[in-house]
Amino acid sequence: MKKLVATTVIATILLATGAAFGQSDAHDVEVLIPNVLMLRITDASGSDEGASPSVVFDFQTDVDAYLDMVNGGGGDLAPTGVADFDDVIVFSNRAAWSVGVSAEALTFADDLGLSVSGNGVALSDISVEPSGTPGPNVSSVETSWSLATTDSIANGVRTQGWRSLGFGGSDYRLAVNGDEDPGSYTTVVTYTITAP
């Protein structure tokens, strides 16, 4: 009887503490990381919400700047207006990325009614000369490029957040030399981030 009571007590203690029967269960953990490869043109506040970025070279209004540059032998003029375009920023969790630029063909409007054809201004006359400092993990940004380029203008590695490419609308330049037909020239410029 003492043996039975001792065995029953030991069995009860082992069952109560779980030492007699090991139990385990398992569950899955799934981690899903998004493919982040983004580019934004931002305003002075760093936002791109509702922005309509633009660069304007209005020398019909600022005639003196145009006349002075042409009279001095020609050269590069800064924009007369920039809206919602203070920076180009990128975000990537890819091992490598690059940014390219493309521009639609210039469209000419004879808005002054002079019956001219729109000669003298080409995409190669509009350039960008970055004046800012690229952010961390932006490996390189070209020192200048024209809108006629089809090459990569910047590259880098995982950015670990939004990073500046170091240029905005105020870094655009227009080369003039006096052979430009009067009128309006327009294009749409697109910056695209890609990864191998």
What sign does the CA torsion over 126, 149, 42, 109 have? positive
- pLDDT (average), residues 49-77: 95
Chain centroid to CA 22: how far?
A: 56
Whole-prediction pTM: 0.85
Give the up-direction half-sphere exposure of residue 34: CA atoms within 13 A in the CB hemisphere. Answer: 5
**To the nearest whole percent, how much of the chain has pLDDT over 90?**
83
- For residues 18 and 34, what is the distance between their CA atoms, to the nearest angstrom? 43
- pLDDT (average), residues 19-30: 86
What sign does the CA torsion over 150, 156, 161, 164 have? negative
Over the chain, what is the mean pLDDT? Answer: 91
Sequence-distant (6+) residues with CB within 8 A of 184 are 108, 109, 111
**Helical H runs in 18-168?**
63-71
The domain locations on the chain are 34-194
- pLDDT (average), residues 43-55: 90
Contact assessment for residue 128 and residue 148, using Cβ atoms and an 8 Å cutoff: no
